[in-house]
Amino acid sequence: MSDYAKGLEGVTAAETQMSYIDGTAGILEYVGIPIGELGSHSTFEETVFLLWNNRLPTRAELDGFTKDLRARYRLPDGFIDRIRACPQDAQPMHVLRTLVSALALYDKNPNANDVPSAREKGLNILGCTPAIVAAFDRHRRGLDPVAPDSSLSFAENFLYMLNGTKPTPTMARAFDICMILHADHGLNNSTFTARVVISTLSDVYSALTAAIGSLRGPLHGGANEEVMVMLNEIPSVDAAEKYVMDKLERKELIMGFGHRVYKAKDPRASHLQVLAKQLATDTGNQALFEKSNKIEQIMHRERAAKGIYPNVDFYSATTYHCIGLKLDLFTPMFAMSRLAGWTGHIIEQLSDNRLFRPKAKYVGPHNAPYVPIDQRG
Ligand code: SDX
């Protein structure tokens, strides 16, 4: 029996204490706490503490952690010039991957990968990445950057730096919930990527840069942008039926559906669906939500039997749109949040490291002759 599992499907490649996923029952827990509870009652700051410490903080610990994170909102001196040097038509995920990597140039000890150093670097990167995304978006609009405000939460501060005005409590809370829901998710491709890189005892910047590169893929985090492209292509709720059926006929993927692990509805999709519905109503985007709902009904009829349900990316698209984010900022939002999970997994890998080095099944020739070049066909 071959031990070859294409795409490592079904292979357990690490142990983690952070996310538990039951793909059959559609359950996701962070350190044992159901994701719905965290989405309803927690904050992104508290969730990051939970993921990195395997327990909820006391009030004093949360205050201290929050203060520590807010102290890292600011970009390194001179870094803004790198953002201004980016072409205004550069894609935000390529900017993010490039500039998170560039943060290593401002670290006097970039290679330190003992656990305390990894945590410190992860916190630095988590703290200032919103400023990178916000400043680039303003740069491409011909606007000056807005300096971070350390009196604001992670969610409030990002929206403030992006728009130049403080967000409403509703929008700030909606964004905070999105950050909670995207923070960690077992050994997804980008998290596995981060673990593979750090397992060589490389550095946190290299591991997180590689993870951002993985997340951009439309089969992974890039799907939320593709969902919005699809929603924009469908002119009305009534047109959804033909649009989806034609794509299925052509054996094309309906973005935001399906999952390697979930064969039931992704619990994050359920939480985001409620949020999207509320935000769509508040912002006059009901048609967008109704289109999404209609697509889900069609896919349930056509593909639920095959275990294909909405995943986290499906309703996050409508949510991010209603918050006022541009389509090509959706995946950077996913990355900003998942920096928490990636850093947690980097810490876990460093705490009990074993170099990742799977085998490859050789299917090429053997004992082939070396033919001199002038005798080749
Ligand atoms: C994320 O791993 C994680 O945890 C990721 C994530 C996280 O938090 O990190 O949850 C975030 O990446 C969510 C997934 C976002 N991607 C998409 O929405 C892209 C669309 N989805 C598909 O690409 C697909 O469902 C995957 C990649 C997500 C999972 O694919 P698998 O497990 O490799 O499944 P498969 O391609 O083998 O599909 C099995 C069957 C195939 O049909 P048959 O060849 O058997 O006839 O299901 C079909 C597929 O064609 N199928 C779909 C479909 N997804 C699978 N058909 C239509 N639309 C889809 N979306």
Res. 297: pLDDT tops 90 = yes
Number of domains in the chain: 2
Look at ligand 1, atom 22, and give the residue with the nearest C-alpha: 258
Residue among 311, 334, 336, 337 whose CB has most ligand 1 atoms within 8 A, to mutate: 311
Answer yes or no: is 288 within a domain: yes
Q: What's 212's domain CATH number? A: 1.10.580.10
Q: What's 248's domain CATH number? A: 1.10.230.10
* Average pLDDT, integer, range 324-344: 98
Look at ligand 1, atom 24, and give the residue with the nearest C-alpha: 258
Res. 104: pLDDT tops 70 = yes
Domain housing 308? 223-323
Q: Say yes or no: CB of residue 206 within 6 Å of ligand 1.
A: no
pLDDT band at 1 (very low <50, low <70, confident <90, very high): low
Answer yes or no: is 166 within a domain: yes
Answer yes or no: is 330 within a domain: no
Answer yes or no: is 187 within a domain: yes
Q: Are residues 31 and 153 in the same domain?
A: yes
State the catalytic residues. Answer: 220, 259, 313
Q: Are residues 143 and 183 in the same domain?
A: yes
Alpha carbon distance 259, 28 (integer Å): 13
Using an 8 Å Cβ cutoff, are 235 and 291 in contact?
Answer: no
- Go through 45-79 and write b for each residue having 16 or more CB atoms within 10 A of its CB, e for each that does not: bbbbbbbbeeebbeeeebeebbeebbebbebeeeb
Work out the percent of the chain whose per-residue pLDDT is above 70: 100
Q: Are residues 41 and 178 in the same domain?
A: yes
pLDDT band at 94 (very low <50, low <70, confident <90, very high): very high
Answer yes or no: is 360 within a domain: no
Answer yes or no: is 146 within a domain: yes
Answer yes or no: is 230 within a domain: yes
Alpha carbon distance 137, 179 (integer Å): 19
Res. 248: pLDDT tops 80 = yes
Q: How far is the CA of 257 from the centre of ligand 1 (A)?
A: 6
Q: Are residues 141 and 259 in the same domain?
A: no
Q: How many CB atoms lie within 10 A of CB 237?
A: 17
Q: Are residues 286 and 346 in the same domain?
A: no
Per the prediction, the chain carries an average pLDDT of 97
Work out the percent of the chain whose per-residue pLDDT is above 90: 99
Q: Are residues 114 and 191 in the same domain?
A: yes
**Choice among 2-6, 18-22, 99-103, 313-317 with the minimum mean pLDDT:** 2-6
pLDDT band at 2 (very low <50, low <70, confident <90, very high): confident
Answer yes or no: is 302 within a domain: yes
* Average pLDDT, integer, range 232-249: 98
Using an 8 Å Cβ cutoff, are 148 and 161 in contact?
Answer: yes
Predicted confidence (pLDDT) per residue in 40-90, tens digit: 999 999 999 999 999 999 999 999 999 999 999 999 999 999 999 999 999
